[in-house]
C-alpha cells in the first residue's frame, strides 16, 4: 500500500519517510506517545508502509488469534539468511508441520530434565563470581547473556558443546547487529547484496554457525546414542501422520532458531529484573529469602517450582521491559478492527511495551511491583494485557523453558549474592530486535553469608 487515505487518527509524518525519523529516535517514547495522544488505534506512515498501532488488549487478541488474516508476512524473510525456515521464519504448511514436531520437545516433562544443565551453567558463573574481590562490580548484562547462551547451547547440544560457546557468541553478535539493521531499513536490505566488509563479516558469521551446528549434528548421528537434550528430542521427533523426521538442513534451521530466539530474550528479561531489583531492596530481600528456602540442596525442577515469587519478579520485569517489544503482522485481506476497516497489505503493530504501560489496564504503570503477579491479583486480568510471549498459534514455543531458566538462574544468584546499584549508573532501554539495556548494567556484588543463605 502506498499512502492509504487516513482512516484513523495519527501523526501527520513527513513526505517519503513518514514517521521513520521519530521511530529511529526515542523509539519507545514515540510509541507510548502515539497511544497517549491518538488512542488505541493509530494510523502512521513508516516510509512506504501504512501502519496501524493497536493498543487495546481486545485488538491484540483479534490480531494474534487470527493468523489467516494477520500473517507474519515477508518481514521475517530478512532473518532467513541466518535462520532458514526455522519456526520463527517459516509459514504455512511447513510451519504447521514443524510446530507439531517440535512441541514434543517443549513439553514441561521433557524440559524438566534440562534443569540440572541450567543449574550447572549458573553454578559455573557463580564460581567465577566467588573468585572476584569482595565488593567488585560485575557487568550483569554481559553475565546474563553469557549464562543464557551457555544454557541455550548446552540444553540443545549437550555439555560437549561447551567449547563452542565462545565462537557461537562472536558469530551471533555479528549476525544480530546486521539483522537488526536490515529489518526496518529497505536501504540496508538492498545494500546487503553488494560486496562490503560488513556483508563479508555477516557471511563469515553464518558460515561459522553452520559449520558448528553441522558438526554437532553429524557427531550425534554418528554416535547413535539417545540423549535427553533438545537435539536428542529433535532427532527422535516424528510427524504423527507421516512418520517422517527432520532432515539435517531442517535440524540446522531449528537449532539456530532456538539458539537465537532462546538466549537473548531470556538474558534480557533477567538483566532487567536485576536492574529493577537494584532500586527495590525489600523485593530483593524477599526474593533471597525465597531462594534460600526453596533451593536447599540439589537444584531440580521440583525445587524450581518453589520459586513462585522469583517468577513474579521476572514477569514484572518483562511487563516493564518486554524482551520482544513489538509484534508485526501484515493484513492479508481487509479486516475490521475497532470499527475501522484496515486495508489489505497494511502493517499491523501490536506492542507489548505499549499495552504493558497502558494506564487503562495498569495502575501506576511505571511502578515496579511484582505483587501485580500474585495469583490473586493476576486472576481475571485480560489475557492480552500482559503478553510477553505473544499469543495465538505463533506464540512462543519456549515460554515454559524460559520460565524455568529464569527461576533457576535468578534464584541461584539471589541465594548467594546481593547485587546493588552503582551510584550514577544510568541504564536506558535500547529497542533492537529485542529490548536490551543501551549501557552496560554494572552492579556491585556482595556475598551473602552462607549460613544465612542456608537458613
Considering the complex, state which of residue 267 and residue 445 has its C-beta at the smaller distance from ligand HEM: 267
Considering the complex, state which of residue 292 and residue 406 has its C-beta at the smaller distance from ligand HEM: 406
DSSP state of 18: B
- We find the least distance from the C-beta atom of residue 435 to ligand HEM, in angstroms, to be 9
Q: Which of 10, 57, 158, 323 binds ligand HEM (CB under 6 A)?
A: 323
3-state secondary structure of 295: coil
Angstrom distances, CA of residue 409 to CA of 89, 122, 267: 29, 6, 10
# residues near ligand HEM by CB under 6 A: 23
Choices 176-184, 192-200, 217-225, 319-327; region in contact with ligand HEM by CB under 6 A: 319-327
- The yes or no reply on residue 389 touching ligand HEM (CB under 6 A) is yes
- The yes or no reply on residue 396 touching ligand HEM (CB under 6 A) is yes
Per the document, the length of the chain is 455
- The yes or no reply on residue 394 touching ligand HEM (CB under 6 A) is yes
3-state secondary structure of 50: strand
Supply φ then ψ for residue 166, to 5 degrees.
-60, -45
Considering the complex, state which of residue 143 and residue 444 has its C-beta at the smaller distance from ligand HEM: 143
Considering the complex, state which of residue 216 and residue 445 has its C-beta at the smaller distance from ligand HEM: 216
- We find the least distance from the C-beta atom of residue 397 to ligand HEM, in angstroms, to be 5
CB 106 within 8 A of CB 400: yes
b/e map of 357-366 (b: 16 or more CB within 10 Å)?
bbeebbeeee
Pick out residues in 268-307 that bind ligand HEM (CB under 6 A). Answer: 269
- We find the least distance from the C-beta atom of residue 102 to ligand HEM, in angstroms, to be 8
CB 255 within 8 A of CB 234: yes
Considering the complex, state which of residue 216 and residue 292 has its C-beta at the smaller distance from ligand HEM: 216
Considering the complex, state which of residue 43 and residue 265 has its C-beta at the smaller distance from ligand HEM: 265
- The yes or no reply on residue 324 touching ligand HEM (CB under 6 A) is yes
Distance CA(95)–CA(101), nearest Å, equals: 10
The contact mask relative to ligand HEM for 233-272 (x = CB under 6 A, - = no) is ------------------------xx--xx--xx--x---
- The yes or no reply on residue 327 touching ligand HEM (CB under 6 A) is yes
Considering the complex, state which of residue 374 and residue 395 has its C-beta at the smaller distance from ligand HEM: 395
Q: Which of 397, 410, 419, 433 binds ligand HEM (CB under 6 A)?
A: 397
The contact mask relative to ligand HEM for 369-388 (x = CB under 6 A, - = no) is -------------------x
- We find the least distance from the C-beta atom of residue 317 to ligand HEM, in angstroms, to be 10
Angstrom distances, CA of residue 59 to CA of 56, 70, 241: 5, 12, 35
Pick out residues in 58-117 that bind ligand HEM (CB under 6 A). Answer: 87-88, 99
Angstrom distances, CA of residue 18 to CA of 3, 12, 15, 38, 115: 10, 8, 6, 16, 48
Pick out residues in 154-213 that bind ligand HEM (CB under 6 A). Answer: none
Distance CA(54)–CA(68), nearest Å, equals: 18
- We find the least distance from the C-beta atom of residue 444 to ligand HEM, in angstroms, to be 25
Environment class of residue 166 by beta-carbon count within 10 Å: exposed (0-12), middle (13-18) or buried (19+)?
Answer: exposed
Angstrom distances, CA of residue 39 to CA of 42, 355, 358, 365: 6, 12, 10, 17
Residue with the closest Cβ to ligand HEM?
Answer: 398
Distance CA(331)–CA(219), nearest Å, equals: 44
Distance CA(295)–CA(405), nearest Å, equals: 14
Considering the complex, state which of residue 343 and residue 390 has its C-beta at the smaller distance from ligand HEM: 390
Distance CA(270)–CA(153), nearest Å, equals: 18
CB 321 within 8 A of CB 388: no
Q: Where on the chain is the footprint of ligand HEM (CB under 6 A)? A: 87-88, 99, 257-258, 261-262, 265-266, 269, 323-324, 327, 388-390, 394-398, 401-402
Amino acid at each position: 500500500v502506498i499512502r492509504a487515505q487516513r482512516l484513523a487518527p495519527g501523526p501527520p509524518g513527513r513526505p517519503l519517510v513518514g514517521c521513520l525519523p521519530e521511530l529511529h529516535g526515542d523509539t519507545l517514547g514515540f510509541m507510548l506517545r502515539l497511544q497517549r495522544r491518538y488512542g488505541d488505534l493509530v494510523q502512521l506512515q513508516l516510509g512506504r508502509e501504512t501502519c496501524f498501532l493497536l493498543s487495546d488488549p481486545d485488538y491484540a487478541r483479534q490480531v494474534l488469534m487470527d493468523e489467516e488474516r494477520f500473517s507474519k508476512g515477508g518481514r521475517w524473510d530478512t532473518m532467513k539468511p541466518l535462520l532458514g525456515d526455522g519456526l520463527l521464519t517459516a509459514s504455512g504448511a511447513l510451519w504447521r508441520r514443524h510446530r507439531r514436531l517440535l512441541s514434543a520437545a517443549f513439553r514441561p516433562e521433557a524440559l524438566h530434565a534440562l534443569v540440572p544443565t541450567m543449574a550447572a551453567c549458573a553454578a559455573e558463573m557463580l564460581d567465577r563470581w566467588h573468585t572476584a574481590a569482595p565488593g567488585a562490580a560485575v557487568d550483569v548484562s554481559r553475565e546474563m547473556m553469557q549464562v543464557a547462551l551457555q544454557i541455550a547451547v548446552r540444553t540443545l547440544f549437550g555439555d560437549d558443546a561447551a567449547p563452542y560457546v565462545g565462537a557461537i557468541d562472536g558469530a551471533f553478535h555479528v549476525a544480530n547487529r546486521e539483522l537488526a539493521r536490515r529489518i526496518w531499513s529497505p536501504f540496508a536490505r538492498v545494500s546487503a547484496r553488494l560486496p562490503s566488509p560488513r556483508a563479508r563479516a555477516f557471511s563469515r558469521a553464518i558460515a561459522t554457525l553452520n559449520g558448528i551446528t553441522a558438526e554437532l549434528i553429524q557427531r550425534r548421528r554418528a554416535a547413535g546414542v539417545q540423549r535427553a537434550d533438545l537435539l536428542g528430542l529433535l532427532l527422535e521427533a516424528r510427524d504423527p501422520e507421516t512418520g517422517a523426521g527432520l532432515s539435517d538442513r531442517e535440524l540446522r534451521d531449528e537449532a539456530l532458531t532456538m539458539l537465537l530466539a532462546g538466549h537473548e530474550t531470556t538474558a534480557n528479561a533477567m538483566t532487567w529484573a536485576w536492574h529493577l531489583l537494584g532500586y527495590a531492596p525489600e523485593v530483593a530481600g524477599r526474593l533471597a529469602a525465597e531462594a534460600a528456602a526453596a533451593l536447599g540442596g540439589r537444584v531440580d525442577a521440583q525445587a524450581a517450582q518453589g520459586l513462585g515469587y522469583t517468577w513474579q519478579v521476572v514477569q514484572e520485569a518483562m511487563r516493564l521491559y518486554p524482551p520482544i517489544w513489538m509484534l508485526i503482522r501484515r493484513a492479508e485481506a481487509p479486516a475490521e478492527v475497532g470499527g475501522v476497516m484496515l486495508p489489505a497489505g497494511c502493517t499491523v503493530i501490536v506492542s507489548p511495551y505499549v499495552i504493558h504501560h497502558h494506564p487503562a489496564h495498569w495502575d501506576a504503570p511505571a511502578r515496579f511491583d511484582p505483587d501485580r503477579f500474585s495469583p490473586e491479583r493476576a486472576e481475571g486480568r485480560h489475557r492480552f494485557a500482559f503478553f510477553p510471549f505473544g499469543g495465538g498459534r505463533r506464540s512462543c514455543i519456549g515460554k515454559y523453558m524460559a520460565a524455568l531458566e529464569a527461576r533457576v538462574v535468578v534464584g541461584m544468584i539471589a541465594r548467594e549474592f546481593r547485587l546493588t546499584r552503582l551510584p550514577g549508573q544510568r541504564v536506558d532501554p535500547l529497542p533492537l530486535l529485542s529490548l536490551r539495556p543501551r549501557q552496560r548494567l554494572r552492579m556491585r556484588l556482595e556475598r551473602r553469608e552462607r549460613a544465612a543463605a542456608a537458613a
